[in-house]
Structure 1
């Protein structure tokens, strides 16, 4: 039994196909989705979406977004989504450093919340890169 999964960013479709199950970083914790799952709509935080297929696991980084679950279809919408292999450690480290510096110099709640979101996103990318390295070694 499988469930159809679509992962879409603002610029492209990153995955469309059938899966045995999907794991997504929902705002309330990791969400495991299997075929015939109850209908659900949730926000996502930055992190890894894992799609388990007959051929293995497809890992996709999302910067946040929305997941819509129907019994036979999962759709993930994210402003930014990248295949795990396309993540750039140097860019993520630079983004983390910029966010940390901006937090030290922030002047107000709005600046701080944007900076915290940028920091969370860069940390999630670095965690995913580290995880991918562990699988290779």
Structure 2
């Protein structure tokens, strides 16, 4: 079975790397699903979105809330580079809920804090 070599990184650390069956990322142009054999592409991540990686070993999907960044696909290698990355298992749900409440009460023109809080909750498996 063909697989993708995937790396999910932030400036501070490598968050996840390994073989995957599929990667799904939200870009500024919409959602993109990447399978083995995908054409080369470079995309800009939607700030405050969730990246989903389905490991090739059949393990649980890797979900991560990401901030601004980009991804590239070339020769069955996928690199996801984001300024902020928080894995599902690292997310403090109570903190994310507080951040969402604060973002909603601020009524700011910039929707980024709200998108980031919602992404953290979605990555943690909480419906929002």
TM-score normalized by structure 1?
0.80
In structure 2, the residue matched to 1:121 is 116
Question: d(CA) in 1 for partners of 2:68 and 2:120?
Answer: 12
CA deviations 1:16-74 (Å, max 9, x no partner) are: 11111111112222211011211111111222211112232222221232111112211
Identify unmatched segments of 5+ residues in structure 1: 107-111
Question: d(CA) in 2 for partners of 1:58 and 1:99?
Answer: 26
Alignment of 1:4-83 (within 5 A): 4-45=5-46, 46-53=48-55, 54-56=57-59, 57-83=61-87
Question: d(CA) in 1 for partners of 2:72 and 2:24?
Answer: 13
Question: d(CA) in 2 for partners of 1:119 and 1:61?
Answer: 13
Count of residues paired in the alignment:
123
Identify unmatched segments of 5+ residues in structure 2: none
Question: d(CA) in 2 for partners of 1:127 and 1:84?
Answer: 9
Larger radius of gyration: 1
